[in-house]
Structure 1
Amino acid sequence: MTRQIVVAVDGSAPASAAVEWATADARRKGLGLRIVHVCEQGQHGAEQCADILEVAADRARALGGGIEVTTELLAGGVAETLLAESVKADSLVIGSRGLGGFKGLVLGSVGMAVAGHADGPVVVVRGPAAETHERVVVGYDGSPHADAAMEYAIDQARRRDAALHVVYGWTMPAFSPYAVAYDSLIEGVMQEEERAARDRLTPWRERHPDVWITEAHACEHPVAALIEASKRADLVVVGSRGRGGLASAVLGSVSHGVLHHVTCPVAVVRPRPEVTS
């Protein structure tokens, strides 16, 4: 089964930006685009729900260059319905805030549920892109979720003919300033973190020599490192969970920081469950 890119709409401005992002991604990947609207009871009438889908589909077809665009009205709870959609989607694209069923989507419980539990990548779009930087940023700490994020980021960079910038931030363990050789302890930890970060990237560079991979690792909170890097990025990619410097990414403080402050699209990637026969 060929996966489609699924984008959820509700008539809000961020959802319209999500349609534009999803359409461009579908064109790059040569995939179909499925536009869905969850018509919750008491939110919109059937006619208004249909109009929301029609407007989104018209916009996608105008920008899509001939990609297949399909639409469907869905019923049920927003989070549960979109999680079900993610199972058969290449990726799920949503606006950062919306109307009706999407109110508080990213900053509230619904958004966290979708980003943290979707079966595959979730892309959160805040608004139209103001400029293009030809750079994808990924937070990477070597965890399984970060590996999934790296795979997605490499594919995005390749299809965009863009550079991939890998970010790793860590916090310094607590040392007593009165400890013997305090300065050398700090320097040793920093050197070890930087060496480990470089070593983790070596296999990725060897497997993907066609992608220009740059890196930045610094002794600072991962949120600060990713926010700074995002200022010159077209997309920021993080794993739904991590370890070390990216621990609890997306579902914890790191995710909240990134989603609160990063203005470019953010992709949250969760490894898909292994299929057993």
Structure 2
Amino acid sequence: MNRAVVVGVDGSRTAWSALAWAADDAARRGLPLRIVHVCEPWLAEHPLGASGETLTERCDRLLTGAADRARELAPGARISTALVTGAVIERLRSESETADTVVVGSRGLGGFAGLVLGSVGFGLAGYAESPVVVVRRLPRDGSGEIVVGYDASPCADMALEYALAQAVARRARLRVLHGRRYPVTAPHPAGYGPLPVDEAAEVVRQLVLWREKYPDIELIESIVDEHPVPALAAASRAADLVVVGSRGLGGFTSAMLGSVSHGVLQRAHCPVSVVGAPRRRTPRPTSGGGLWVSA
């Protein structure tokens, strides 16, 4: 049974954008679409406004409208809805345990207007079992390019494999971006491990192997002398999707969400996918032998 693309909806503008992205992604990849609304229990069954409509009734109406919209966007898609009760991040994290991907808007109805990214997007991106896509806005015109941040770390390998699958589904080219300038000049800044002798050379070597595995994808190398966050943010202006690992070579080992993924979520101009800890070990392509990597 195929895992579903799960999208969280709450009636906000960015949630409708997330629904559109999720419906398109599910249709492209032939996956079911599961539309979830989380009803927080402390709001209970009190009537809302003069209509006397209960919260559950309003939530059901929201889900019905979302499903109708998804059917317009993706005719023939297998669509289901779920009204669940609990804390939003925890319930969507539970959904991620059996999901292919979880999609959310960048800020919901409960978000403070001054926040660039809401707590749900940040919380899920560092906590989910599946890739998480955070949608602030949809690209106006598809550029046919996906951008992935890559540093040859285990999380980056998973991000690259996810990006390649998206490139196949979208018939897009894939730009693999490696930024090799760190934000401070100390030999080993706090939170960063020792730099590889030639990290860029390792990136190039790994990309040769990935090209052999995906020969039909146009894979473009971009190795820049710039910190990854501004480099990926700039590249996102001309991208349909940016993909990052939840934590790379420079991340704190105890952190759920690394500084690069955190920064890209804040600054990107297109949807961002954060790919984190795997359910299973992910094979890195090799020219021989069987090297396995895990987060």
TM-score, length basis structure 2: 0.81
How is 1:223-242 mapped onto 2 (pairs within 5 angstroms)?
Answer: 223-242=229-248
1:82 paired residue among 79, 87, 92: 92
Q: Give the deviation of 1:193 after TM superposition.
A: 4.0
Structure 1, residues 74-121: CA drift from partner, whole Å, max 9, x if none? Answer: 001111100000011110000000014x66898354432211111111
- The whole-number CA distance in structure 2 between the counterparts of 1:141 and 1:193 is 7
- The whole-number CA distance in structure 1 between the counterparts of 2:82 and 2:280 is 28
Structure 1, residues 137-161: CA drift from partner, whole Å, max 9, x if none? Answer: 0001111111111110000001111
Alpha carbons 1:226, 1:258 under 8 Å: kept: yes
- The whole-number CA distance in structure 1 between the counterparts of 2:252 and 2:232 is 14
- The whole-number CA distance in structure 1 between the counterparts of 2:116 and 2:80 is 25
Q: 1:216 corresponds to which residue?
A: 222
- The whole-number CA distance in structure 2 between the counterparts of 1:140 and 1:198 is 10
Alpha carbons 1:250, 1:256 under 8 Å: kept: no
Q: Give the deviation of 1:46 after TM superposition.
A: 1.1
- Cα separation, partners in 2 of 1:112 and 1:94, compared to 1, 3 Å: same
Q: Give the deviation of 1:229 after TM superposition.
A: 1.1
Alpha carbons 2:38, 2:85 under 8 Å: kept: yes
- The whole-number CA distance in structure 2 between the counterparts of 1:14 and 1:160 is 22
- Cα separation, partners in 2 of 1:193 and 1:146, compared to 1, 3 Å: closer
How is 1:1-277 mapped onto 2 (pairs within 5 angstroms)?
Answer: 1-43=1-43, 45-100=55-110, 107-171=117-181, 174=185, 192-244=198-250, 251-274=257-280
Q: Name which of structure 1's ranges 195-204 and 3-12 shifts more when overlaid on structure 2.
A: 195-204
- The whole-number CA distance in structure 2 between the counterparts of 1:158 and 1:12 is 31
- Cα separation, partners in 2 of 1:61 and 1:209, compared to 1, 3 Å: same
Q: Give the deviation of 1:42 after TM superposition.
A: 4.5
Q: Give the deviation of 1:133 after TM superposition.
A: 0.5
Alpha carbons 2:8, 2:15 under 8 Å: kept: yes
Q: Give the deviation of 1:270 after TM superposition.
A: 1.3
SS in 2 for 1:259: helix
- Cα separation, partners in 2 of 1:198 and 1:4, compared to 1, 3 Å: same
- The whole-number CA distance in structure 2 between the counterparts of 1:16 and 1:108 is 15
- The whole-number CA distance in structure 2 between the counterparts of 1:109 and 1:61 is 29
- The whole-number CA distance in structure 2 between the counterparts of 1:237 and 1:250 is 17
Alpha carbons 2:150, 2:157 under 8 Å: kept: yes
Q: Name which of structure 1's ranges 190-199 and 131-140 shifts more when overlaid on structure 2.
A: 190-199
- Cα separation, partners in 2 of 1:229 and 1:119, compared to 1, 3 Å: same
1:240 corresponds to which letter in structure 2?
S
- The whole-number CA distance in structure 1 between the counterparts of 2:186 and 2:104 is 43
Alpha carbons 2:38, 2:86 under 8 Å: kept: yes
Identity %: 50
Q: Name which of structure 1's ranges 246-255 and 219-228 shifts more when overlaid on structure 2.
A: 246-255
Where structure 1 has 5 or more consecutive residues not aligned to the other structure, the ranges are 177-188
- The whole-number CA distance in structure 2 between the counterparts of 1:137 and 1:57 is 30
SS in 2 for 1:99: coil
- The number of residues matched between the two structures is 261
Where structure 2 has 5 or more consecutive residues not aligned to the other structure, the ranges are 49-54, 188-194, 282-295
Alpha carbons 1:123, 1:265 under 8 Å: kept: yes
